[in-house]
Each structure stands twice: as C-alpha cells, then as structure tokens.
Chain A
Amino acid sequence: MSNNPYVPQLAVIEKITEETWDTKTFRAVFVDEEFRNNFTYKPGQFQEVSVFGTGEATFCLTSTATRPGYIEFSVKRFGCVTKALHGLSEGATVGVRAPLGNCFPYESFKGKDLWFIGGGIGMAPLRSLLNFCLDNRDDYGTVNIIYGARSAGDLCFKSEFDEWKNSPNTNLYLTIDREEEGWTENVGFVPSYLMDLKPNPEGAIAITCGPPIMIKFVLKNLNELGFTDEQIYTTLEMRMKCGIGKCGRCNIGQYYVCTDGPVFSNAQLKGLPLEY
C-alpha cells in the first residue's frame, strides 16, 4: 500500500453480534496478511471504518490487541454510515484506517484499583481497556465495572458479563433506569449508583464514557467522592473526518481530539475551551 494516509486497508467482516435493537458489534479481519500480522494498537485508540459508497465514520477499537488477529467495533445505528454498516452481512468488505488517536495511559494505571463507569454504547471504548487489563490481570488492582443503560435490552456485551464477573478480584455492577420484570440487579441512573457504591479514591483511577449528561454527573460525583481530576479519565467524541489532525474539524482550542485525544484526563478537560 502507499503512503497516502487517507486510503484505508481492506477488512472482511467475520462476525456480527446483535447487542441490542440498534447496536451491533462487528469483528473484522484485515485482508492483507502482512498488515494483519503486524497490526497492533493500544486501548483507547480508534479507527475510521468505511462502507464504500456511503462514507467513513469514527468508531473506537473496542477489542484489545492482547487478543490479536481481529479488530472489533460497536455501531449504534443512527446515521448514514451506521445504517449502511447495519445492512452488511458477514463476509462483506469494509475499509479501515487504524489505529488512530492516543490511548489510555495504562502503564500509569498499574497497581491501581480501577473503576470503569459506562453508560449504553459508552461501554465500547471502556471495553478495550477493561479486557486489556483483565488479560494483564496481575498488573492491576481491583477492577470494578459500573455499567448502566436505559433498559436491560439496551445493555451491550451481555455475552461477556460472566467472563467479567468471574475474573479474579473483579466486580460487575449493572443498573438500568427503571424497574423491569426479571431484573434482579440495581435500578437507578449510573451517577447515583456510583454514589451508592462509594468507591474509595485512594489508589484508584476512574474511567468513564457514556451519554454527555451521564458523564457530566459522573464527573461531578467523582470529584465529590474525593477523586482528583488527575484520577479521572474519559474519552471524548467529536465529529471527525481525517482522524489524523489535518482536516481541522475536531479541534477544541489548540488540540485535536483525533490526535491529542480522544482520551483526556479530567484535569486536561478542565483546561479546554468549553466547546465540546
């Protein structure tokens, strides 16, 4: 392949998992063997996926490089490219430009207790770091996952809940917004469940992603619980096109979310102009 950075690699859809009524997880394998064998990425990075004829859109790499040979992306259907992706079958070819962006500073998380706080499809970027940490279990302290959605049907990655629960020293706290028949776990919004669980900020890191309103209250509550801004990480979403800091679209102040992010600590976020 050339050095034109806007030309994607070809990848074939190997497996499609229907997570919810509007979300699917796609597993894709690069066509070029050499590229596939040498491909690696870090948790938190993202990719630009193309459906030729419709366009290209940004998705986090929800898989982890500790499980090589394939990449995964989770797609909530609400626009042109996502709708086109949902229309694909296994065996279809897509384009992928990856890996893009920065990553979670997982080296600095070693030895710490981790609190993953996700809402809805926001769990997708967190899952990359979560599975990475579980694959390197001894490097990290207690792993706690607070994951909520509007309803049980809106929870993604259900097939992995048992794996997460059964991982050593790992707790999975699920919650949904309203009572539902058959639901035995917590009922309530993620930010309030967080307050109920009262995580101990000492030696802990919190990583959150979800709908903007959820993130807003989670950040506030984490500060209230004693987490400093340097202990809190999130991954921002912005409209992107090139993904490599050239087209100018995703800037917040002097930073480009696609190259200086999408992972930011809360301390970094507080230094950004209020435009995201």
Chain B
Amino acid sequence: MSMEQVLREKAKELLSSGKVKVVIGYGEGSIPIKSTPIFVKTPEQADCLVLNPTCTNNLTVYLPQAVKSGPVAVVAKPCEVKNIVELVKENQIKREDVTVIAVSTPGILNDAALAEFDLLDVKKISWKADGVAVTTSQGDTVIPRDAAFQKKCLSCTAAQPAIADIKIGDWAERAPLQDKFADVEEYEKLSAEEKRAFWAGQFSKCIRCYACRQACPGCYCNECFVDKNGQIWASKDTGAESNWFFHMTRMMHTAGRCTGCGECERACPMGIPLSLMGKKMSLLVKELFGTQPGESMEDAPVFGCYQTNDPDPCPE
C-alpha cells in the first residue's frame, strides 16, 4: 500500500471508532501543483486525503483552535512533529487531545523547481526513487532530489519523532544531503555592517501583512504585541525602524521554539528569507543551551524555565 492509502485507512479507523472528531491532513489543491489543508470529519471523506510532494503546509498551526471542538488527529512531517511537542509543553494542547500521524516522506517540493514547467500542463507530482516526477502532457520529467526538495528537507535526517501515535513512511534515519545550518554559516561570514545592510534591504520590502506570523505554529497568542492598542508597543507603519522592531521581536518570541518548518518564508509574498533568521536563532539556542525544540518531551521549554546554570554571557 502506498503511504497515501495507509493514511486513508488509518484516518477511517480513527473517525469510525470515534477516537477523533477530525483528521487534519492534505487534500487536492485547486491545481495539481498544489495541495490544501483539509479537515476530514467522516470516514467517507478520508478518501480525499492525499500525500505527495506538494504537501507543504505545517498543519500543526490549526491545533490550538481545533482541539477546542474535541480530539484531533493531525498529519505531521518530522519538522512538524516538533511543533506538536512544543505546543504540548507550552500547554496549548493536551497530549491526549491530539493523535499524531507522523509521516516521513522523501521530501517536499520546492516551488522554484517548477520554474521551467508550464504549470497549467502539470498533471501530477509524485515521488520517485531519485527525486520528484512531474507528469505533463509530454510525459514524466524527474527532478533530482537536491534540486527538487526544499532546503529543510535536504537537511532532514528523519530522526525518530519524540511523539507519534501512528507512523507512516520510511522512518529509517538517513544522512542529510545538506547541513541544516549551512546557510546560517554562510551568513555568519558577513561583517556586522554587511549583516545590517542585508536585513535593512530585506525589511524595506516588508509590507506588514503578518503572513509570517499567521503561518507560524509558534505564534498562537490571542493578541499579538503588534496588535495591542491599549498601549502601543509597536507602530503599524512600514518604516525601517518599525519593520526591524516587528521582526526582531517576533524572532525573540520564537527563539528556542522555531522548528525551521519554513512556513514563514513560504507565506511571505515579498520573498524575505525569514527562515534564515529563525535558523540563526536556533543555532544560537543550540550553542547556548545545548537543546533544539521539539526533540524531546522531557526538555523544559528553553525560555519557559529558568535553570540556575543557564548561560548568561556578559560582554566584558
């Protein structure tokens, strides 16, 4: 059985047994190059679930709201399982309210890989042993892995998930094709002035649509600091100072909690490399605290708990 078929069977079981009220997964998008989040509520609807290289959304963003109506099952890729771990540790969802369907896929398609195709002529996108097959009226073209997959997939080791109620796919650990922090290390080579100029240029494009925030499973606050208007913490204008403040603050708020899912960058309509910031923070947290989010249910949230031996580097 293909992963997709296994998923559908499991979803049917979960729904008909009443164990969950809804299975959050992927369905066919409006066009074969896209899939879309779907909320399956009956066993019959489970046949709408798909699993293919276009399944890019981080569905855990729906969890805090979804569990309010009852137990939920969610399809989560390895990076996304980490989000669930953090949501449980941060008391946003109860462990017993979520059935984690952990799916290990070969990788998720990088939109830029389709640049040379006539997108209206793509009929199907599927995994092949050595990459992704794009089927058009001309037949199949296979894009090799390192060109087909998103950066985060190329550095994925498919390590055993910290939590999983159902596991689908090949969970054999694999060697990453790229180092997770390769782009951060490139960035680190810039001087302080070059880094400042780089981000100033990027933030000048920001239109404050807050897509990055809305797409992030870590940004679940009922009232974001930028929306508070009783006391104005952050101005809503798109000037340089205001944009820096918004992004830097959001990075501080997600530090130690960002799993590198890349949804922020994917959602950004202006092409700002937001996941570079998130990964830079992740690397800092790893260096300072020795932990990464979502890898263990036992680790306390790094900024949620104070340990007396927490590093406190003070410039001399």
Contacts and interface: CB of A to CB of B under 8 A. Distances in A.
Direct contact of A and B (CB under 8 A): yes
Interface of A: 79-80
A9 B308 CA distance: 59
A65 to B, nearest CB: 33
B134 to A, nearest CB: 41
Nearest to B230: A80
Top 3 nearest A-B pairs (CB, nearest first) are: A80-B230, A80-B229, A79-B230
Interface string B192-230: 000000000000000000000000000000000000011
Interface in B228-260: 229-230
A153 B143 CA distance: 76
Interface of B: 229-230
3 contacts: A79-B230, A80-B229, A80-B230
A79 B230 CA distance: 7
Contacts of A80: 229-230
A166 B230 CA distance: 43
A83 to B, nearest CB: 9
Nearest to A54: B232
Contacts of B230: 79-80
B242 to A, nearest CB: 17
Contacts of A79: 230
A79 B229 CA distance: 9
A193 B227 CA distance: 42
Nearest to B231: A80
A80 B228 CA distance: 11
A80 B229 CA distance: 8
A3 B230 CA distance: 31
A86 to B, nearest CB: 15
Nearest to A83: B230
Nearest to A55: B229
Contacts of B229: 80
A82 to B, nearest CB: 12
A44 B230 CA distance: 29
